[in-house]
C-alpha cells in the first residue's frame, strides 16, 4: 500500500509538471501570436503609430500574459470543481479581465498622444477584448484534454490492478485446494503406519510449497520452471501411489523458455491423478507434453482411468474452471482449454495459447 501511494504521488507530481509546462508553452505561443498580429495590423492600418506604440504594445501583451497566468493559478486552486463550474468561473474572470485591460490600453494610448475619446468599451471588446474569450476557449480545450488523458490513465491503471488482482485470486485459489488433498494423503499414510513415507512426503511437499510461496511479480513464468515445479508435485504423489503412478514427461528443451501462466498445469495434473489414476486399483499413467504449433504453444495432460462421467461435460470442477478463467484473463479468446474423454477411459486436456518467449530467448532468436 505504501509503495502504491508513493507511486500515485510521483505520478501526480509528474502529471502536474507536464501540465504546467504545457500551459507556459501555450502562454508563450498564444500571446506571442497576439503580439505579432497586433503589430502587423498596426503597420497596415496605422503605420504612423506602429513603431512609436511598440513599447506600449509590449506592455499590454506582457500584462495580458501575467493576468491570464494569475487566472490559471486561480483555476488550479479549484481543480476539484466540476468542469462546468470551472468553465463558468473562467469565463466570468475573463469578462472581468477585459475591464482593467481596457483601462490600461486607454491610459497608454492617451500617454502616447492618441485620441481615444470616441472609442467606447464595446468598440474595445470588439477590436481587442475578444482575445481574452478566445484565450479562455483554448485554455479550457487544453484543460479538457489533460483531464481526459488523466481519466484514461486512471481507468487503465484501475483495470490493470483489477486484472492483476483477478489473476492473483485465481492463482491462490489453487494452492489451498492442492494443500487440502496433500494433507489428506499424509494423514492417510500416518493412519496406515507408513511413517517414513509420510515424512518423505512432508519434505517433498515443503519443497513444492517453497516454490509456490514466491511466484514472482509476473503472472507468467518459463515453461521449464513450470515443468520442474510439476515434477516436485509428482514426487509428492509418487510417495503416496508408489509404482501405481507412472509418469511420462515430454517437454522439449527448445520450449523451456516459452512463457506460460505460473502453476498452470498443477490443477490439471491433480485432477488426472485424483479422478483417473486414484480410481484404478492397478494405478495408471499420466503423460505431460508440450509442442509448438506455428505461433502457438500447445500443452497437454493425458491419463488413463475410468470412463469420464457425463457430469464432467457440464460441471468441469474447480481446477478446470480456474484454468479456463486464467487463460481468458491473460490471453482473451487466444487461450483455450479443451477436455476430451479418451475412448478406453481417462481423459486428455489440451491447452493452447499464443507463443511467447522469455526476454533471454527473444534476444537469442533476434541475434
Q: Is the pLDDT of residue 362 over 60?
A: no
Asked if residue 26 lies in contact with residue 139, where contact means CB atoms within 8 angstroms, the answer is: yes
Enter the DSSP assignment of 126: I
**Is 245 part of any domain?**
yes
**Is 168 part of any domain?**
no
- Domain identity same for 10 and 134: yes
**Is 280 part of any domain?**
yes
Express each pLDDT in 114-131 by its tens digit.
777 788 888 888 888 889
Q: How far apart are CA 289 and CA 59, in angstroms?
A: 79
User: Please, what is the average pLDDT of the chain?
Assistant: 82
Asked if residue 300 lies in contact with residue 288, where contact means CB atoms within 8 angstroms, the answer is: yes
- Domain identity same for 218 and 345: yes
Q: How far apart are CA 124 and CA 128, in angstroms?
A: 6
Number of domains the chain contains: 2
- Domain identity same for 218 and 350: yes
pLDDT at 158: 59
- Cβ-Cβ contacts under 8 Å for 7 (sequence gap 6 or more): none
Share of the chain above pLDDT 70, in %: 83
Q: How far apart are CA 275 and CA 301, in angstroms?
A: 13
Asked if residue 68 lies in contact with residue 27, where contact means CB atoms within 8 angstroms, the answer is: yes
**Is 241 part of any domain?**
yes
**Is 58 part of any domain?**
yes
User: How many CA atoms are closer than 13 Å to the CA of 340, on its beta-carbon side?
Assistant: 12
Locate cell 520442474: which residue?
228
- Domain identity same for 336 and 276: yes
pLDDT band at 349 (very low <50, low <70, confident <90, very high): very high
- Domain identity same for 319 and 216: yes
Express each pLDDT in 309-320 by its tens digit.
776 656 666 778
- Domain identity same for 199 and 129: no
The mean-pLDDT minimum among 15-29, 77-91, 147-161, 231-245 falls in 147-161
Q: 345 by DSSP, 3-state: which?
A: coil
**Is 333 part of any domain?**
yes
**Is 186 part of any domain?**
no
- Domain identity same for 216 and 338: yes
Q: Which residue range is the domain that position 261 belongs to?
A: 194-366
What's the pTM value of the predicted model, to 2 decimals?
0.53
- Domain identity same for 360 and 259: yes
- Domain identity same for 262 and 318: yes
Closest CA to 139 of 60, 63, 74, 62: 74
- Domain identity same for 128 and 25: yes
Amino acid at each position: 500500500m505504501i509503495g502504491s501511494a508513493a507511486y500515485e504521488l510521483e505520478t501526480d507530481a509528474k502529471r502536474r509538471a507536464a501540465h504546467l509546462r504545457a500551459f507556459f508553452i501555450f502562454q508563450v505561443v498564444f500571446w506571442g501570436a497576439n503580439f505579432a498580429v497586433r503589430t502587423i495590423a498596426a503597420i497596415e492600418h496605422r503605420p504612423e503609430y506602429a513603431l512609436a506604440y511598440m513599447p506600449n504594445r509590449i506592455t499590454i501583451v506582457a500584462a495580458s500574459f501575467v493576468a491570464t497566468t494569475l487566472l490559471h493559478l486561480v483555476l488550479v486552486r479549484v481543480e476539484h470543481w466540476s468542469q462546468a463550474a470551472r468553465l463558468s468561473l473562467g469565463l466570468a474572470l475573463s469578462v472581468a479581465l477585459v475591464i482593467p485591460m481596457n483601462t490600461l490600453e486607454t491610459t497608454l494610448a492617451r500617454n502616447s498622444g492618441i485620441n481615444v475619446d470616441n472609442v467606447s468599451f464595446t468598440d474595445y471588446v470588439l477590436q481587442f477584448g475578444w482575445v481574452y474569450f478566445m484565450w479562455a476557449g483554448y485554455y479550457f480545450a487544453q484543460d479538457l484534454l489533460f483531464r481526459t488523458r488523466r481519466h484514461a490513465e486512471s481507468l487503465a491503471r484501475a483495470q490493470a490492478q483489477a486484472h492483476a488482482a483477478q489473476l492473483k485470486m485465481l492463482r491462490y485459489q489453487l494452492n489451498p485446494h492442492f494443500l487440502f488433498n496433500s494433507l489428506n494423503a499424509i494423514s492417510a499414510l500416518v493412519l496406515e503406519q507408513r511413517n517414513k513415507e509420510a515424512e518423505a512426503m512432508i519434505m517433498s511437499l515443503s519443497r513444492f510449497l517453497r516454490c509456490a510461496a514466491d511466484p514472482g511479480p509476473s503472472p507468467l513464468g518459463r515453461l521449464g520452471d513450470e515443468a520442474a515445479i510439476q515434477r516436485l508435485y509428482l514426487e509428492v504423489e509418487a510417495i503416496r501411489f508408489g509404482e501405481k503412478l507412472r509418469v511420462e514427461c515430454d517437454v522439449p528443451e527448445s520450449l523451456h523458455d516459452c512463457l506460460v501462466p505460473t502453476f498452470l498445469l498443477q490443477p490439471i495434473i491433480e485432477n488426472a491423478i485424483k479422478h483417473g489414476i486414484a480410481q484404478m486399483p492397478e494405478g495408471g499413467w499420466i503423460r505431460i507434453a508440450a509442442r509448438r504449433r506455428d505461433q502457438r504453444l500447445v500443452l497437454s495432460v493425458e491419463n488413463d482411468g475410468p470412463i469420464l462421467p457425463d457430469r464432467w461435460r457440464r460441471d468441469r470442477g474447480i481446477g478446470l474452471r480456474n484454468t479456463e478463467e486464467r487463460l481468458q484473463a491473460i490471453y482473451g479468446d487466444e487461450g483455450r482449454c479443451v477436455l476430451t474423454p479418451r475412448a478406453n477411459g481417462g481423459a486428455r486436456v489440451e491447452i493452447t495459447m499464443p507463443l511467447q518467449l522469455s526476454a533471454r530467448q527473444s534476444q537469442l532468436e533476434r541475434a
